[in-house]
Amino acid sequence: MTPERPDDQPFTEPWQARAFAMAVVAAERLDVPWDEFRDRLKAAIADRPGRPYYESWMDALETLVSDLAPA
């Protein structure tokens, strides 16, 4: 499989790696399967397909935490 980016880096900015880490930790601490976050991300992208990817990512993370975190 050929990498999409010539430098083979999964993230182009440090904050993107931090956003990914926050999503992983949130899913673990809320005891939800990663697929639930992924489904939320797909829905966020479908709702606004023209917006930047990481805006959808952060929207999915925000809704995951607000919907599932204990009050």
Tens digits of per-residue pLDDT, 11-56?
888 888 888 898 899 889 989 999 999 999 999 999 999 998 888 9
| pLDDT the model gives residue 1 | 46
Task: Say if CB 19 and CB 58 are below 8 A apart.
Answer: yes
Q: What does the block give as tokens for 49?
A: 């397909």
Greatest alpha-carbon pair distance for the chain in Å reads 44
* DSSP code, position 40: H
The label of the residue with tokens 């083979």 reads 8
What's the pTM?
0.73
| pLDDT the model gives residue 69 | 78
Q: Which run of H or of E encompasses 58?
A: helix 53-68
**What average pLDDT does range 52-67 have in this prediction?**
89
Q: What does the block give as tokens for 6?
A: 């010539």
| pLDDT the model gives residue 6 | 54
Q: What does the block give as tokens for 70?
A: 């204990």
